[in-house]
Amino acid sequence: MAGVVMGLLLTEGRAGQITFVLLAALAIGAWLIRTKRLRWIVPGLVGVGLLAGGLWMANPHFHDYSLTDNARTYIWPVATQMIEEKPLFGWGVSGARQEFVRRGMNDEDFRIHYLLEFETSSMESFGKVNYGIIHPHNAFLETWMELGIVGLVLLVLCLLLPALWLPIGHDRWFVVACVLVFFVQGMFESMGSQLAPLWIPLLTYLWAFNYSSEQNYSNRPIRPAQ
């Protein structure tokens, strides 16, 4: 978990820094409540607020760009149009990506605010443009677009059920923190494009859930043979 927190702290991305501030606020608040130091909750949260302000001042992404400069503002409408047409079962994994690229290339705002920059950076990095890797930069929209509402529900259940099944204690709060990281990162990135920010917390909390399940199973009394 220390590696995840350090990655969020050192990132220049807005979503990562917002996630770190949320984790810090939850961790400090939970620790103060557990240790019954309730009078320190307000000063603790004020300290987190000052930390958030420092990150905001140090990161130009927070104040040098407006919402109209964020390419996701023009990417997400293309994904939602596809979802509205096939909301139940989606377009399929390959079919959704192909249709998303086709619609994006025919959408003027998509081309101006996202595709042109993507093409330039791809040419500079790889010497060619691979349109097949264009994605909606949102794990939940992408899942809904590909697999429909069925896939989206399964994704949400995969996130929530382990946290709900675990008994209240250190493991449960640990899993909830990992789910929070995945949720915030998933709102701004797709699963197939940025592996570490999304999958490290997911695999970490699955490991914690598996460990807790094994401990619970090993502590069950052995029934005598009939």
Give me the residue label for tokens 């264009």.
Answer: 134
Whole-model pTM: value is 0.69
- Write down the pLDDT at residue 93: 81
State the CB neighbour count (10 A cutoff) for residue 180. Answer: 17
With residues binned 3-state (H G I as helix, E B as strand, rest as coil), the percentages for the chain, rounded to 5, are: 80, 0, 20
pLDDT computed for residue 205 by the predictor = 67
- Give the separation between CA 205 and CA 191, rounded to whole angstroms: 16
What's the pLDDT score for residue 159?
Answer: 79
Pick out the chain residues at pLDDT < 70.
1-13, 55, 58-69, 167, 169-171, 192-205, 208-226
Which SS3 state, helix, strand or coil, does residue 90 take?
Answer: coil
Rg of the Cα atoms in the chain: 21
| Residue-wise pLDDT tens digits, 123-161 | 777 778 777 778 888 889 999 998 899 889 888 888 787
pLDDT reported for residue 80:
93
pLDDT for position 88: 92
